[in-house]
């Protein structure tokens, strides 16, 4: 019955001392108090033995009970901050160790050592462990963080365990911009050498998939490979950023994150017209390069018709509920726009972050006045804020909690729509939570993982793998006035983005520090658009015109076996977000047997091989087998075949140089290759 980490001190005292007089605390015979007997394992209970009779903890509790178990009297200094004796530990080899001390600062200015009262944990025991006394022991090469928790505070220290220095030589790679400098500085400290630059073929495919959500065409391939300008990669990046395909891809990413879906489905019907108004509004913002802070601020402060005012659908789409629920919306809102999961603070102070119940209910109060009322036609809903609505009430004592931003000290000014103050705070250049969240998500989209991973679980106990890098990127986004293309341009021009996926001896085990490109399985919509691009045969989506790309499609109807959240069986099979929650985990990246079978025998590839006519066209032109093989490789994998591949394919063709089925088999094998399904 005790509150988690003692968030409800008053309630804890009542339950321990007064709820069962003479049982949990026995002031007549203190040694017989269950609080003591259970803690030392003298009576059976599920918690087991926690402390020893001769420990300082036991003696403190015993003295308190002997004194009559008094409650606090008057104002008691509260803990306002916690610090570690060292924020960074560097070990030369496994089995090295060091001790951390935890210092608590109180509201009266006093400080005390609370190491023995703190709880400790490590993010990665294979790199470093920490025991109950704060002793850190290196266990293997790498980097991690260890943490201490006292009161409502969690603080961490970075731990680096170096691999052997023998045989390591820093290659001193050339830096293109600040991103390279910060990543390479980190790698050098960790004795990890980055991979070499990727070749032009790999770069062209990677950048086109990342910025246009499709592989390059044969014409684009030939033009890029023939370009001898030294800055051709930078020029290609600019070309793709200027294309509408880039804006459309980011429209799809935002639509997925904001859970845009249209049609009748349980538990609430969301009109197709409203969904389309929201989607088209987002597309316009992306195509006109509207600053991300302005784009988001307009949604937060929006009111009006869901059919004519697209951004107001943030309050109809983000949480699919028949009635607006402020608590659910506040949690999803925080997760999307700040990367912070505050829902843990609904019932108790957050166990692994700084957020308290006061923070949670103060944030919920921004949305307690949100209402939906019928419009002039059955499909229409008018969204508005009822400024007379009371704020949320604290779950512990029922007191009203005026609207207050996360981390704020005072509530926002009363009167009027509190969302105006929320939008100003949220999107302010000074709000690092906001800018770092956007930055981290953009980086993860281009590099395959976030500097903080998962991207929507930002907390004290999940720190960035490269703090200076995230800080610099965030400041760059703010300096660029939240221009998406500007930050993407910086990232894509960096040497780090253009590194090869081929590891070397020192970075083979690195999965965190961006020393080589990650192998990234294509998203379901990008994979489908890639098949369409390569074969030249479109895929029809119900409710959308012919030629609609997979990235432009969002679910509009229910009733299929795949569920309304997918709308197309391909998306269900390949893990496109179901839009069931705002969690980044809704997009599945893991390969499955069903995916392999679908590509091998399903209609996505099978029905496009013959229908595309690409093989037939080349045969009718009298193209030689060697040229046909090369064109199929370039078309599908954006590279020429190796000599071994050429030899094997030529042997497969044999004398059947005019046999269309043989070439279609080669085409099929390339579309079913792992190389095609991954960005590398």
* In the predicted structure, residue 564 carries a pLDDT above the cut 50: no
Say which residue the tokens 């969904």 belong to.
275
The total of structural domains in the chain comes to 4
Q: Are residues 14 and 138 in the same domain?
A: no
Tens-place pLDDT, residues 16-59 = 999 989 999 999 999 999 999 999 999 988 889 999 999 999 99
| Domain end position, chosen among 37, 66, 95 | 66
Q: What percent of the chain has pLDDT over 70?
A: 97
| Residue 399 belongs to some domain of the structure | yes
CATH number for the domain spanning 114: value is: 2.60.40.1080
Q: What are the structure tokens assigned to 570, written together?
A: 């391909």
| Residue 129 belongs to some domain of the structure | yes
* Cis ω before 267 (30° cut-off from 0): yes
Bridge partners of 582, per DSSP, are: none
Q: Are residues 56 and 95 in the same domain?
A: no
Q: Are residues 323 and 397 in the same domain?
A: yes
Q: Are residues 337 and 413 in the same domain?
A: yes
| Residue 409 belongs to some domain of the structure | yes
* In the predicted structure, residue 308 carries a pLDDT above the cut 90: yes
CB atoms within 10 A of CB 132: 10
Q: Is 394 exposed, middle or buried (0-12, 13-18, 19+ CB in 10 A)?
A: middle
Closest C-alpha among 280, 278, 287 to residue 260? 278
Q: What is the CA radius of gyration of the chain?
A: 29
| Domain end position, chosen among 15, 44, 66 | 66
| Residue 119 belongs to some domain of the structure | yes
Q: Are residues 298 and 404 in the same domain?
A: yes
pLDDT given at position 43:
93
| Residue 216 belongs to some domain of the structure | no
Q: Are residues 312 and 420 in the same domain?
A: yes
Q: Are residues 140 and 24 in the same domain?
A: no
- Position 623 confidence tier, pLDDT thresholds 50, 70, 90: confident
Tens-place pLDDT, residues 87-137 = 999 999 888 899 999 999 999 999 999 999 999 999 999 999 999 999 999
pLDDT given at position 655:
87
The dihedral sign for the CA sequence 35, 39, 43, 48: positive
Q: Are residues 357 and 315 in the same domain?
A: yes
- Position 609 confidence tier, pLDDT thresholds 50, 70, 90: confident
| Residue 145 belongs to some domain of the structure | yes
pLDDT given at position 498:
98
Tens-place pLDDT, residues 470-525 = 999 999 999 999 999 999 999 999 999 999 999 999 999 999 999 999 999 999 99
More confident residue, 176 or 7: 176
- Position 263 confidence tier, pLDDT thresholds 50, 70, 90: low
Domain that holds residue 93: 79-161
- Position 270 confidence tier, pLDDT thresholds 50, 70, 90: low
pLDDT given at position 617:
87
* In the predicted structure, residue 5 carries a pLDDT above the cut 80: no
Q: Are residues 303 and 416 in the same domain?
A: yes
Distance CA 19, CA 26 (A): 12
The three state secondary structure string of 274-293 is HHHHHHHHHHHHHHCCCCHH
Q: Are residues 61 and 132 in the same domain?
A: no
* In the predicted structure, residue 558 carries a pLDDT above the cut 50: no
- Position 60 confidence tier, pLDDT thresholds 50, 70, 90: very high
Distance CA 279, CA 248 (A): 10
Rounded to two decimals, the pTM is: 0.93
Q: What angle do CA 118, 122, 125 make, to 5 degrees?
A: 140
* In the predicted structure, residue 560 carries a pLDDT above the cut 70: no
Tens-place pLDDT, residues 412-438 = 988 899 999 999 999 999 999 999 999
pLDDT given at position 265:
44
Distance CA 122, CA 447 (A): 26
| Residue 392 belongs to some domain of the structure | yes
Tens-place pLDDT, residues 446-480 = 999 999 999 999 999 999 999 999 999 999 999 99
Q: Are residues 21 and 104 in the same domain?
A: no
pLDDT given at position 267:
38
Closest C-alpha among 642, 516, 643, 637 to residue 198? 516
pLDDT given at position 557:
59
The mean pLDDT value of the chain amounts to 92
pLDDT given at position 266:
35
| C-alpha distances in Å from residue 323, one per residue of 266, 296, 311, 367, 371 | 13, 23, 19, 13, 9
Say which residue the tokens 């998962």 belong to.
454
| Domain end position, chosen among 121, 142, 161 | 161
| Residue 218 belongs to some domain of the structure | no
Tens-place pLDDT, residues 361-411 = 999 999 999 998 988 888 888 999 999 999 999 998 899 999 999 988 899
Distance CA 316, CA 323 (A): 9
* In the predicted structure, residue 638 carries a pLDDT above the cut 50: yes
Average pLDDT over residues 190-211: 98
Left, alpha or beta for 563 (phi > 0: left; psi -120 to 50: alpha)? Answer: left
pLDDT given at position 113:
97
Q: Are residues 135 and 44 in the same domain?
A: no
The three state secondary structure string of 377-446 is CCCCEEEEECCCCCCEECCCCCCEECCCCCCCCCCCCCCCCHHHHHHHHHCCCCCHHHHHHHHHHHHHHH
């Amino acid at each position: 019955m005790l509150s988690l980490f003692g968030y409800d001190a008053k309630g804890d005292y009542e339950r321990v001392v007064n709820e069962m007089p003479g049982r949990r605390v026995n002031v007549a015979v203190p040694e017989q108090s269950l609080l003591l007997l259970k803690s030392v394992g003298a009576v059976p209970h599920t918690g087991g033995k926690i402390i020893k009779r001769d420990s300082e903890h036991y003696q403190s509790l015993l003295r308190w009970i002997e004194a009559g178990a008094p409650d606090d009297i008057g104002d008691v200094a509260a803990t306002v901050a916690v610090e570690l004796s060292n924020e960074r530990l560097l070990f030369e080899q496994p089995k090295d160790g060091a001790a951390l001390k935890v210092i608590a600062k109180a509201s009266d200015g006093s400080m005390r050592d609370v190491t023995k009262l703190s709880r400790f944990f490590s993010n990665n025991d294979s790199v470093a462990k920490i025991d109950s006394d704060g002793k850190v022991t290196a266990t293997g090469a790498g980097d991690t963080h260890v943490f201490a928790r006292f009161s409502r505070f969690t603080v961490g220290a970075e731990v680096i365990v170096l691999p052997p220095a023998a045989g390591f030589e820093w290659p001193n790679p050339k830096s293109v911009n600040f991103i390279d400098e910060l990543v390479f500085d980190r790698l050098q400290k960790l004795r990890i050498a980055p991979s070499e630059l990727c070749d032009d073929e790999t770069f062209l495919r990677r950048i086109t998939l990342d910025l246009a959500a499709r592989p390059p065409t044969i014409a684009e391939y030939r033009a890029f490979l023939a370009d001898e300008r030294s800055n051709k990669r930078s020029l290609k990046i600019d070309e793709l950023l200027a294309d509408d395909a880039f804006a459309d891809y980011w429209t799809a990413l935002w639509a997925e994150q904001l859970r845009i879906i249209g049609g009748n489905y349980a538990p609430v019907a969301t009109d197709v017209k409203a969904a389309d108004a929201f989607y088209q509004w987002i597309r316009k913002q992306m195509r006109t390069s509207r600053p991300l802070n302005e784009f988001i601020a307009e949604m937060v402060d929006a009111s009006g018709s869901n059919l004519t005012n697209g951004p107001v659908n943030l309050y109809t789409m983000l949480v699919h509920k028949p009635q607006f629920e402020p608590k659910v919306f506040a949690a999803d809102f925080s997760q999307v726009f700040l990367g912070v999961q505050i829902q843990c603070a609904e019932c108790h102070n957050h166990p692994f972050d700084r957020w308290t119940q006061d923070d949670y209910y103060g944030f919920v109060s921004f949305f307690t006045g949100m209402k939906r009322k019928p419009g002039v036609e059955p499909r229409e809903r008018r969204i508005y804020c009822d400024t007379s609505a009371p704020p949320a009430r604290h779950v512990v004592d029922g007191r009203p909690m005026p609207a207050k931003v996360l981390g704020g000290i005072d509530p926002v000014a009363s009167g009027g729509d509190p969302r105006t103050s929320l939008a100003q705070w949220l999107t302010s250049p000074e709000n690092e939570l906001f800018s770092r969240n956007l930055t981290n998500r953009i980086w993860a989209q281009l590099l395959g993982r976030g500097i903080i991973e998962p991207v929507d679980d930002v907390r004290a106990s999940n720190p960035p793998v490269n703090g200076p890098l995230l800080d610099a990127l965030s400041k760059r986004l703010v300096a660029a006035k939240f221009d998406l293309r500007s930050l993407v341009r910086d990232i894509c021009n960096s040497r780090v983005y253009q590194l090869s996926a081929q590891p070397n001896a020192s970075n083979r085990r690195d999965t965190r520090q961006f020393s080589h490109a990650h192998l990234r399985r294509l998203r379901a919509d990008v994979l489908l658009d890639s098949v369409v691009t390569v074969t030249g045969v479109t895929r029809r989506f119900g409710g959308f015109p012919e030629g609609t790309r997979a990235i432009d499609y969002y679910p509009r109807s229910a009733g299929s076996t795949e569920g309304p959240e997918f709308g197309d069986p391909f998306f269900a099979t390949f893990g496109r977000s179901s839009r069931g929650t705002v969690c980044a985990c809704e997009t599945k990246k893991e390969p499955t047997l069903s995916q392999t079978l679908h590509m091998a025998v399903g209609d996505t590839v099978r029905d496009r091989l013959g229908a595309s006519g690409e093989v037939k066209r080349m045969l009718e032109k009298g193209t030689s087998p060697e040229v046909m093989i090369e064109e199929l490789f370039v078309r599908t994998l954006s590279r020429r075949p190796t000599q071994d591949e050429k030899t094997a394919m030529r042997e497969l063709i044999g004398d059947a140089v005019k046999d269309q089925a043989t070439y279609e088999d080669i085409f099929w094998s390339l579309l079913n290759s792992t190389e095609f399904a991954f960005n590398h």
